[in-house]
Amino acid sequence: MELDLAVDAAAERMEERLGLLKRTSEHKAWLQRTLFSASAETAANHLRRWMKATGMEVHYDALTNVYGLAQTSPDGPDAPRIHIGSHYDTVINAGAYDGTLGVLLGIAVVEVIREARLPLRHNLSALAFCDEEGVRFQTTFLGSAYLCGRFDQSWLDKPDEFGKTLGEWLVDRAESIDAVLQNEPYIRPSDCFLEAHIEQGPVLEAADKALGVFTEIAAQTRAEVEVIGRAGHAGTTPGSLRCDPLPVACRMVQAIDALCQSEEAVRATVGRLEVSPNASNVIPGKVRFTIDLRYPDAAGLRARRDRLQTELQRIADGSKVEYRYREAHWADDAILSPAITDALAEACECVQGEALRICSGAGHDSMMVARVCPTSMLAVRCREGLSHHPDEFVSEADCRLALKALVDAVIRLDRGA
Amino acid sequence: MELDLAVDAAAERMEERLGLLKRTSEHKAWLQRTLFSASAETAANHLRRWMKATGMEVHYDALTNVYGLAQTSPDGPDAPRIHIGSHYDTVINAGAYDGTLGVLLGIAVVEVIREARLPLRHNLSALAFCDEEGVRFQTTFLGSAYLCGRFDQSWLDKPDEFGKTLGEWLVDRAESIDAVLQNEPYIRPSDCFLEAHIEQGPVLEAADKALGVFTEIAAQTRAEVEVIGRAGHAGTTPGSLRCDPLPVACRMVQAIDALCQSEEAVRATVGRLEVSPNASNVIPGKVRFTIDLRYPDAAGLRARRDRLQTELQRIADGSKVEYRYREAHWADDAILSPAITDALAEACECVQGEALRICSGAGHDSMMVARVCPTSMLAVRCREGLSHHPDEFVSEADCRLALKALVDAVIRLDRGA
């Protein structure tokens, strides 16, 4: 089949699959497909079916990663692999494209290469990571970490909201934890990885371009804050005798928002906040919230985190509450592979005449995979930069262009290697 | 048996029962006994057993109110009743005395009168209302409203957190809803009601007195507020493009707290606040919170509510969010019966030499019962004024004094009638 016709056919299938996976959710009213949910299992079955149909050798591991190997190389199954993919889990009330588009593009690239009977020196591999968002266990990049041999054993003790730990889940799923941990990493230093992902920001749309390349991924940190006061009766305790943690936490939220408003490059968000006991006639006893803080480079992030910590401590010191700040996550910025980025940029130029180079404010599995093998990312325009939201949208034409650019990049990488 | 000995014996039993009911909870780690929970059912069984042991005729209605009638009058079961009691449901992470102490005092008064063989002209009635806190359906005073013939049929459609309505629960429990609604009210205009309750405030402790009388109950209102913005990705959306409802809600919480701090007599509380979707890497799309507002008199409350509404509207107008304020509850202040209050005050003078007269900042079933028959309340000192909190505490000596004062008041009311 001619290459362009193969791309058209694969893009059409991809659009149907996006629709099906958008409905594959824990909830009727919104998209929610988190690790170890029934809808994630259903989605994994669809992915395995589509991978099998291309003739790939398909794997489904104990963590529920799905990946398929297409033996496109004449050098056998151990030849260097070009991995293409992303994650198939979602946040709560998610959009249909975050992660999922990159997964379906990986399968579509294999379909196109197979249907156009293009000879390659590499094997092709389609990846669908089980957990990037970390909703269940707060384990960001869990799926890719495992396939890269970077699984952190301390994650085994992390509980989900029902108190069941990741380790307990794995015992249910696998013969033994040891077998899970001793598995040979599927992603190896001799391989390379291409991840396509929606931009999740407004830059491409403003430039009127469908595609761009991420040259780096911003540094990010996540903290968990506890503000502890004293619960009491809402009707009897006068203001002077209260030790209400909520107004104090609210001052902190405003300080965090002020930081976010102060500079275009910084991102500071309180996404999660919980009040305890959370009853209308009880003065709160405790407030917990998260801080998500990002900046293009790690040194700049560190400076802003330090300044914010000083400000939050000052707010706490001016009140009667007890205050705890715990850093739960830190990731330096990731500089992606210049060679892979250049191949993607050349592919973009080929399909749309120009390649925009962008810093990604969002974290991606590529941060993890980049530690093991050369990695880079294709950015796809999404409407109004909207993401982690049900209105997230990528046009069918843009999905097709992304597929074309990825196929082009694979051919370039295969020849250049 | 001599009166004082009977009081001692009943006070000792009451202390044991307080310990048992403190453990009768949905949760191991804290006290939570809400309407239609298994622990509420268990508590009701204990109460029925203790009432039966005094020879009362015991009732357990479809709403799970428990009440017992002691035929102490020679005029038969329809003679005027002196009701004594309170509610046996609790808030979440509750104290052991709120409501429960008043219920157990009601049973103990009957025991003392029976054991001391005191002749009365009234029948005595011990009441244990099933739902005062309104945790499950937001139906404050549900139990007492039903026994007073003031059940509001619109409550039938109120859903609990699982979406099951009060009406659906009642269909499960009763032969028919109609039978439930047509029941003759147990509390009648010819009766009177004494409710003993912990003060839930610091006044008695500051005055070094075990007991006081509530002369009135403050007016109160409850509102539900929604602040709606737009969810988005925490890593990619710059401050200038955000419409985050959380910082706006936080400014509102601070305005409400400022009102509470501005005057000793006002109570303003945000006890419940929920963020949606509540994920660390997602900018919130919606924040909902409650406002609990109280003031000694209804006109003063109305003025402060109006002022607060203006301030919240001003905050909303200064932002990009959508804002909704809905008043969910309004109760005028209740002036309690002077005759019953005087009898209680004389009883207090008799047992401790002085009677403090207090305005209650907390709402009580007495607000509901006072609409039907003469009603007043005995206030019992609690440590540090702490209530709706696991450290809520009343000394054994103060419980005994409360029992003595109630017995004394019953005798006065019976003679004075």
Q: State residue B114 phi and psi, 5-degree precision.
A: -65, -45
| Interchain pair B251, A250: CB under 8 A | yes
Token pair belonging to A252: 């902190």
- Across B52-81, average pLDDT: 96
**Which residues on chain A are in Cβ contact (under 8 Å) with B91?**
277, 279, 281-282
Contact B68, B400 (CB under 8 A): no
Instruction: Kindly provide the ipTM of the predicted complex, given to two decimals.
Output: 0.76
Q: Which residue of A has its CA nearest to B294?
A: A235
- Across A163-173, average pLDDT: 93
Contact A212, A197 (CB under 8 A): no
Alpha helix positions (H), A24-151? 38-53, 100-115, 142-147
Q: State residue A227 phi and psi, 5-degree precision.
A: -120, 115
Residue A193 to residue B350: CA distance in whole angstroms: 86
Write out the E strands in A332-401: 334-335, 356-360, 375-380
Q: How confident is the model at residue A270 (pLDDT cuts 50, 70, 90)?
A: very high
On the question of pLDDT at A170 being above 60, the answer is: yes
Q: How confident is the model at residue A409 (pLDDT cuts 50, 70, 90)?
A: very high
Please choose, from the candidates B242, B235, B245, the residue with its C-alpha nearest in 3D space to the C-alpha of residue A133: B235
Q: How confident is the model at residue B140 (pLDDT cuts 50, 70, 90)?
A: confident
pLDDT score recorded for residue B148: 97
**Which residues on chain A are in Cβ contact (under 8 Å) with B281?**
91, 133, 222, 269, 271, 292, 388
| Distance from the B373 Cα atom to the nearest Cα atom in chain A, whole angstroms | 25
| Interchain pair B277, A92: CB under 8 A | yes
Write out the E strands in B308-386: 322-331, 334-335, 356-360, 375-380
pLDDT score recorded for residue A40: 97
Assess whether the previous peptide bond of A277 is cis (omega < 30° from 0): yes
Q: Which of A200, A230, A233 to mutate to test the interface with B (most CBs of B within 10 A)?
A: A233
Indicate if A60 and A188 belong to the same structural domain: yes
On the question of pLDDT at B1 being above 80, the answer is: no
Of the candidates B331, B362, B394, which is a domain's last residue?
Answer: B331
Q: How confident is the model at residue B58 (pLDDT cuts 50, 70, 90)?
A: very high
Three-state DSSP at B100 gives: helix
Indicate if B345 and B213 belong to the same structural domain: yes
- By residue count, chain B amounts to 417
On the question of pLDDT at B162 being above 70, the answer is: yes
Please choose, from the candidates A28, A19, A26, A71, the residue with its C-alpha nearest in 3D space to the C-alpha of residue A46: A19
Residue A251 to residue A161: CA distance in whole angstroms: 28
Indicate if B114 and B240 belong to the same structural domain: no
Contact B166, B139 (CB under 8 A): yes
Indicate if B231 and B266 belong to the same structural domain: yes
| Distance from the A57 Cα atom to the nearest Cα atom in chain B, whole angstroms | 35
Residue B41 to residue B43: CA distance in whole angstroms: 5
pLDDT score recorded for residue A185: 95
pLDDT score recorded for residue B175: 79
Indicate if B48 and B125 belong to the same structural domain: yes
- What's chain A's average pLDDT? 95
Indicate if A364 and A393 belong to the same structural domain: yes
> Per residue in A180-216, pLDDT tens?
888 899 999 999 999 999 999 888 998 999 999 999 9
C-alpha distances (whole Å) from B373 to each of A266, A281, B70, B190 are 64, 27, 19, 7
Q: Chain-centre distance of CA A129, in angstroms?
A: 9
Q: How confident is the model at residue B388 (pLDDT cuts 50, 70, 90)?
A: confident
Indicate if B30 and B176 belong to the same structural domain: yes
CATH (domain of A37): 3.40.630.10
pLDDT score recorded for residue A389: 87
pLDDT score recorded for residue A63: 96
Residue A390 to residue A147: CA distance in whole angstroms: 29
| Interchain pair A246, B133: CB under 8 A | no
B158 burial via Cβ count (<10 Å: 0-12, 13-18, 19+): middle
Residue A109 to residue A85: CA distance in whole angstroms: 10
| Interchain pair A271, B284: CB under 8 A | yes
On the question of pLDDT at A1 being above 80, the answer is: no
Please choose, from the candidates B68, B65, B45, B44, the residue with its C-alpha nearest in 3D space to the C-alpha of residue B56: B68
**Which residues on chain A are in Cβ contact (under 8 Å) with B380?**
none
**Which residues on chain A are in Cβ contact (under 8 Å) with B279?**
91-92, 135, 271-272, 388
How many percent of chain B have pLDDT more than 90?
A: 85
> Per residue in B33-43, pLDDT tens?
999 999 999 99
Among B262, B279, B389, the residue with its CB nearest the CB of A232 is: B389
Indicate if A233 and A324 belong to the same structural domain: yes
On the question of pLDDT at B242 being above 60, the answer is: yes
Among A235, A236, A267, the residue with its CB nearest the CB of B235 is: A267
| Interchain pair B275, A273: CB under 8 A | yes
Residue B361 to residue B197: CA distance in whole angstroms: 12
> Per residue in A25-38, pLDDT tens?
999 999 999 999 99
Q: What is the DSSP string of B238-250?
A: -GGG-B-HHHHHH
Indicate if B49 and B155 belong to the same structural domain: yes
Q: How confident is the model at residue A138 (pLDDT cuts 50, 70, 90)?
A: confident
How many percent of chain A have pLDDT more than 90?
A: 85
- By residue count, chain A amounts to 417
Q: Which residue of A has its CA nearest to B132?
A: A281
pLDDT score recorded for residue B77: 93
Residue B94 to residue B267: CA distance in whole angstroms: 20
Residue B291 to residue B139: CA distance in whole angstroms: 16
| Distance from the B254 Cα atom to the nearest Cα atom in chain A, whole angstroms | 5
pLDDT score recorded for residue B290: 97
pLDDT score recorded for residue A241: 85
- Cβ neighbors of A352 (< 8 A, separation 6 or more) are A209, A210, A211, A401, A405
Q: Which residue of A has its CA nearest to B225?
A: A280
| Interchain pair B238, A92: CB under 8 A | no
Helices B396-416, B100-115: inter-axial angle, 10-degree rounding = 60
Write out the E strands in A236-347: 267-269, 273-276, 282-283, 286-295, 322-331, 334-335
| Distance from the A329 Cα atom to the nearest Cα atom in chain B, whole angstroms | 12
Residue A353: domain span:
3-217+333-416
- Cβ neighbors of B370 (< 8 A, separation 6 or more) are B193, B334, B336, B337
| Interchain pair A91, B274: CB under 8 A | no
Of the candidates A331, A359, A393, which is a domain's last residue?
Answer: A331
Alpha helix positions (H), A116-230? 142-147, 166-173, 177-181, 203-207
Token pair belonging to A324: 């705890």
- Cβ neighbors of A85 (< 8 A, separation 6 or more) are A67, A102, A103, A105, A106, A125, A126, A127, A128, A129, A195
Domain count, chain A: 2
Q: How confident is the model at residue A264 (pLDDT cuts 50, 70, 90)?
A: confident
| Interchain pair A234, B261: CB under 8 A | no
CA B245, B249, B252: angle at the middle one, nearest 5? 150
Q: How confident is the model at residue A22 (pLDDT cuts 50, 70, 90)?
A: very high
pLDDT score recorded for residue A194: 98
Q: How confident is the model at residue B182 (pLDDT cuts 50, 70, 90)?
A: confident
> Per residue in A211-246, pLDDT tens?
999 999 999 999 999 999 998 889 988 898 899 999
- Residue whose structure tokens are 């209804």: B298
pLDDT score recorded for residue A175: 79
Indicate if A168 and A302 belong to the same structural domain: no
On the question of pLDDT at B417 being above 70, the answer is: no
Q: Which residue of B has its CA nearest to A203?
A: B236
Indicate if A153 and A72 belong to the same structural domain: yes
Q: Which residue of B has its CA nearest to A285?
A: B389
pTM of the model: 0.76
| Interchain pair B237, A267: CB under 8 A | yes
| Interchain pair B273, A272: CB under 8 A | no
Of the candidates A331, A359, A375, which is a domain's last residue?
Answer: A331
Which residues pair with residue A357 across a beta bridge?
A213
Residue B292 to residue A184: CA distance in whole angstroms: 59
**Which residues on chain B are in Cβ contact (under 8 Å) with A251?**
250, 254
Give the pairing of strands B356-360 and B211-217.
Answer: parallel
Which element (helix H / strand E) includes B81? strand B81-87
Which residues pair with residue B322 across a beta bridge?
B228
Q: Which residue of A has its CA nearest to B287?
A: A273
On the question of pLDDT at A417 being above 70, the answer is: no
Number of DSSP helices (H) and strands (E) in chain A, helices first: 12, 18
Q: Which of A128-132, A138-142, B58-62, B75-79 has the lowest mean pLDDT?
A: A138-142
Q: Which of A321, A377, A388, A391 to mutate to test the interface with B (most CBs of B within 10 A)?
A: A388
- What's chain B's average pLDDT? 95
Indicate if A223 and A304 belong to the same structural domain: yes
pLDDT score recorded for residue B254: 98
Q: Which of A30, A221, A237, A276 to mutate to test the interface with B (most CBs of B within 10 A)?
A: A237
- Across A59-78, average pLDDT: 96
pLDDT score recorded for residue A203: 86
CATH (domain of B296): 3.30.70.360
Q: How confident is the model at residue B293 (pLDDT cuts 50, 70, 90)?
A: very high
On the question of pLDDT at B355 being above 60, the answer is: yes
> Per residue in A284-302, pLDDT tens?
999 999 999 999 999 999 9
- Across B341-361, average pLDDT: 94
pLDDT score recorded for residue B285: 95
Return the number of other C-beta atoms located less than 10 Å from residue A328's C-beta: 13
pLDDT score recorded for residue A127: 98
pLDDT score recorded for residue B371: 93
